[in-house]
Amino acid sequence: MDKSIELDSVEKFYGDFHVLKGISFSIDKGSIFAYLGPNGAGKTTTIRILLGLLKPHSGNIRINASRKKIGFILENEDLSYRMDVENYLKFFAELYGVKWTKSIQLLESLELEGILKKPMSQLSKGLKKRVAFARALICEPEILFLDEPLEGFDPEWQVKFIEILKSLADKGTTVFITSHQLLYIERLATDFGIINNGRLLGQWKIKEVENLEKFYLEAIKNA
């Protein structure tokens, strides 16, 4: 099967702090890979390296997609802009080099048509997250990097979000997601990896595991 993402022995330091200790994994095209781990384990650093925002100190990375075909949701991003939703999304459409008119269907699926003229700063946390999701999808991504995307969504939208991601994966989009919400991850992901203290404990198929939460807690405890 074609690989979308490959990491080989990736190391990263912040000063003296060893953040990533020889991370290696590969992700098949069209799969939904959940990258799990406690806070401070190195998940966000891995995503930043994969997005090309940070350089690893050593190791190899292979991303099988054009930079303009990679969508993302970043952790702790503050979308409190004065501009309205439409202008914000148009800005990213321009950066990606895609036509704004192509995004109408996307806005409908995320139920954003009604708030296009609303200033971003007036949106609730959940709506901001939906806008961030629209931004991630605007480039018709081949790969999606989603850092804690479920935070801020209400249960109804968490379910819709999962459905949208599954349908994207069916069409060939590779999804790389971090989350602490293991119940949703169990329903969404096809594969997962666990990282603890910068070390990858392993990579598994979701269907190999009976109870993800129990498996995760034991893996962290035994690490």
Partner 1 sequence: MREIISIIKKDLRESILLNPLQLIIAFAIMIFIFYSLTNLNLLKSFPGIQKIFIVFETLPILILVSLNSLMEVFYKEKMKRGFEAIMATGVSIEKIWIGKSLAIAAPMYTIYLISFFTALLLRSSSFILKEPGLLVEAIIVVPFLAFSFILLIGISFMVSEKGRTIITGVFYFFFVLLFFSNFLMKKLALLLKTSQATFNLLIFLLATILIAVATVWIKNVDTEKIILGVE
Among 25, 92, 157, 176, which residue interacts with partner 1 (rule: CB under 8 A)? 92
Among 33, 35, 72, 176, which residue interacts with partner 1 (rule: CB under 8 A)? 72
Rg (alpha carbons) of the chain, rounded to whole number? 17
Among 97, 170, 210, 221, which residue interacts with partner 1 (rule: CB under 8 A)? 97
Give a three-class secondary structure readout of 176-211.
Answer: EEECCCHHHHHHHCCEEEEEECCEEEEEEEHHHCCC
Tokens of 140: 């018709």
The amino acid that residue 3 corresponds to is K
> Do residues 129 and 151 touch, judged by C-beta distance below 8 A?
yes
Helix (H) or strand (E) holding 97: none
Is 114 an interacting residue with respect to partner 1 (CB under 8 A)?
Answer: no
Q: Which is nearer to partner 1, 16 or 78 (CB)?
A: 78
CA 91/CA 116 separation, integer angstroms: 13
Residues 3-42 that bind partner 1 (CB under 8 A): 14
Among 8, 22, 54, 59, which residue interacts with partner 1 (rule: CB under 8 A)? 54
Binding region for partner 1 (CB under 8 A) out of 2-10, 66-74, 108-116, 206-214: 66-74
Is 82 an interacting residue with respect to partner 1 (CB under 8 A)?
Answer: yes
Tokens of 101: 């008119």
Among 94, 108, 154, 163, which residue interacts with partner 1 (rule: CB under 8 A)? 94
The angle that helices 155-170 and 125-137 make with each other, rounded to 10 degrees, is 10
Degrees to nearest 5, angle at CA 218 with 215 and 219: 85
Tokens of 127: 């709506």
Q: What's the closest the beta carbon of residue 78 comes to partner 1, in angstroms?
A: 4
Among 40, 83, 113, 214, which residue interacts with partner 1 (rule: CB under 8 A)? 83
Residues 128-157 that bind partner 1 (CB under 8 A): 135, 139
Binding region for partner 1 (CB under 8 A) out of 33-41, 50-58, 122-130, 171-179: 50-58
Tokens of 5: 């993402």
Q: Where along the sequence are the contacts to partner 1 (CB under 8 A)?
A: 14, 48, 51-55, 67-68, 70, 72, 74, 76-83, 87, 91-92, 94-97, 135, 139
